[in-house]
Amino acid sequence: MTERMDALTTPLNWQKVRLGDIAEIIGGGTPSTQITSFWSGSINWFTPTEIGITKYVYKSQRTITPLGLKKSSTKLLPIGTILLTSRASIGDCAIL
């Protein structure tokens, strides 16, 4: 983005900061799809395609089990967390 574009689109009272300086960045992961006991549980598991369609997300298309959560790099995040995509569609967001 050029300085001219910044001047036209950024409110004067805003500061430029790195996202990591104002938020905790957490990456997730996909439980193995080869292990059926990891899937169809009670824990929502959102994919990037589900983020950004609406402002808030409540129920995911797929769910995982507590075992799937434990045996993967997937993270359980609290309600109110801002979800931001960094793969597939980049920059889409929703509030959990």
85 lies in some domain: yes
Is residue 91 in some structural domain? yes
Number of domains in the chain: 1
> In the predicted model, what is the mean pLDDT of residues 27-55?
95
Pair type for strands 39-45 and 62-64? antiparallel
Q: Give the other-Cβ count within 10 Å of 38's Cβ.
A: 22
Task: Look at residues 50, 42, 58, 59 and name the one whose alpha carbon lies nearest to residue 84.
Answer: 50
3 within a domain of the structure (yes/no): no
Calculate mean pLDDT across residues 18-30.
91
Does residue 86 lie within any of the structural domains?
Answer: yes
CATH number of the domain that residue 52 is part of: 3.90.220.20
Residue 93 lies in a domain: yes
Please tell me the predicted confidence (pLDDT) of residue 90: 85
pTM over 0.85: no
Mean pLDDT of 39-44: 98
Mean pLDDT, the chain, as a whole number? 89
22 vs 14, higher pLDDT: 22
Cα separation, 36 vs 15, in Å, equals: 47
What domain range includes position 52?
Answer: 31-96
Determine, yes or no, domain membership for 92.
yes
The answer to whether position 37 is within a domain reads yes
- Residue 39, pLDDT > 60, answer yes
Q: What is the model's pLDDT at position 75?
A: 92
Helix, strand, coil % in the chain, rounded to nearest 5: 25, 20, 60
Tell me if 20 is assigned to some domain. Answer: no
Structure tokens at 71: 């045996």
Q: What is the pLDDT of residues 57-78, one digit of tens each?
A: 999 999 999 999 999 999 999 9
Q: Is 95 helix (H, G, I), strand (E, B) or coil?
A: strand
